[in-house]
Every structure is written in C-alpha cells, then in structure tokens.
Amino acid sequence: SKGPNMRKRQSKWMLLSHPTVLGTSVYMTQPEAMADTLKDLKNEQKQLEQKKNQLNSTIIEKKGDITENQSTQEKILSQIQSLDSKIIETDSEIDRVLGDIKRTNFEIEKLHDSINVLKKKIAERDELIKERLRAVQESGGSVSYLDVLLGSSSFADFIDRFSAVSTLMDADKKILQEQADDKASLEEKKTSVEDKLAQQEQRREKLVGLKANLDSQKASKNKLID
C-alpha cells in the first residue's frame, strides 16, 4: 500500500507533467496548421498563375485575331476599291457602246433617206430613158444620130441638125451617166447599211456582256461589303 507521502509526491509529479504535455501538444499543432495554410496558399497561387497564363494566352490569341481581322478588312477594302474601278470602267464602256449604237442608228436613218431619194430619182430617170427610146422607135425604129445628120438638105440644115444631135447626145450621155452613178451609189449605201447593222448586232452582244459583267461586279462588291 502507498502511504500518504507517496501519494502526494505522485500528485505533484502529475501536476508538473500535465502542463508540459499540453504545451507540447499546442506547440505541435500550430506548425502543422501553418503548413496546411501555406500549402493552400501555394495551390491558390499556382491556380492564379495558371489562370493568368491562360488569360495572357487568350489575350495574345485575340490580338492575333484582331490583327488577322484588320488584315482581312484591308484586303476586302482593296478588293472593293478594285471593283469600284472596274465598275466605273464598265459603266464608261457601256456608255461608249450606247453612244456608238445611237450614232450608228442615226447614220443608218440618213442612209435610208438617201436610198429612198436615189430610188425615186432612178425610177424617174428610168421613165425618161424609156420615153426617149420610144421617141427613137417612133421616128424610124433604128434611126441613129448619124442618119439624122446625113439626111440634112443643106449646110445650114446640117448645122442645125448637128447642134440638135449634140445636145441630144450630151443629154443622153448625162442621163445615162447619172443613172449609172446613182445606181452605184445606191448599192454602196445598201452595203454600208448592212455593214452598220452587222456592227450594231456585235455592239448589242457586247452590251449584253458588259451589263452581265457589271451586275456580277456589283454583286461581288455587295458581298464584300456584307
């Protein structure tokens, strides 16, 4: 059995030993908590660094996109300006062709007027020539200017007949020459009209192509603007 003194010494030892144990426990607990907190902070810092790197990467990517977009816009604007020049050029070409068509139509109208005048003159002259032929036939059928001259009864009659024959010969030659010239001019004008009509057809085909190009250029421009 333990005596009273022994129990007192044990109680004192226990009282001295408990604070030491408690102190040691508190001392051991604080560094572990601080370590965990430090670890959490480091993890959080690492996550922030990752987010920062991702953000920087995104910023760099977006800057690249902006640069590419600006480059694309400049390229599109250049294409639009080029199309504007082509549209102006095509419009000018269309105006030129329309002007040629209008001018040629006027020339064709003038040629038709000249052709109608020539046809009328030729028809009238044909009637005159027929009248003169009928007059010759009625005077003896095959009577020539030489027969008229040889049939004179005197020198004075010969002179009169020679003057009349010369006048008639000059008139006949003039009429025939005018008729030949007018007929040649008529054929020339008809050929000119045919050539101009062929040119007009080519111009109309060119005009159709130019308008198609113009529509295509405008559509391309609108697409680029969109």
> What integer best gives the mean pLDDT of the chain?
78
pLDDT digits (tens, 9 = 90+) for 27-75: 445 667 777 788 888 888 889 988 998 998 889 989 988 888 888 889 9
Of residues 125 and 219, the one with the higher pLDDT is 219
Write the DSSP assignment of 99-116 as a string of letters. Answer: HHHHHHHHHHHHHHHHHH
The pLDDT of residue 13: 44
Task: Say what the alpha-carbon torsion angle 157, 162, 167, 172 is, to the nearest 10 degrees.
Answer: 120
* Direct distance between the N- and C-terminal alpha carbons of the chain, in angstroms, rounded to an integer: 107
pLDDT digits (tens, 9 = 90+) for 70-111: 888 899 888 899 889 989 999 999 999 999 999 999 999 999
| Lookup: tokens for 222 | 């609108």
| Lookup: tokens for 149 | 């001259």
In the DSSP assignment, the letter for residue 154 is S
* Of the listed ranges 8-12, 82-86, 107-111, 148-152, the one predicted with least confidence: 8-12
With a cut of 60, say whether residue 194 has pLDDT above it.
Answer: yes
The pLDDT of residue 215: 92
The pLDDT of residue 144: 58
Chain CA centroid to CA 33, Å: 80
In this structure, the chain runs to a length of 226
In 3-state terms, what secondary structure has residue 180? helix
pLDDT digits (tens, 9 = 90+) for 104-130: 999 999 999 999 999 998 888 888 777
The pLDDT of residue 191: 93
Q: Return d(Cα 145, Cα 161) in angstroms, integer.
A: 9
With a cut of 70, say whether residue 141 has pLDDT above it.
Answer: no
pTM of the model: 0.53
Mean of pLDDT values over 17-23: 48
Q: Return d(Cα 91, Cα 211) in angstroms, integer.
A: 9
With a cut of 50, say whether residue 24 has pLDDT above it.
Answer: no
Q: What percent of the chain has pLDDT over 90?
A: 23
Q: Kindly provide the b/e burial profile for residues 43-67, where b requires at least 16 CB atoms within 10 angstroms of the residue's own CB.
A: eeeeeeeeeeeeeeeeeeeeeeeee
Report residue 137's pLDDT band, with 50, 70 and 90 as the boundaries: low
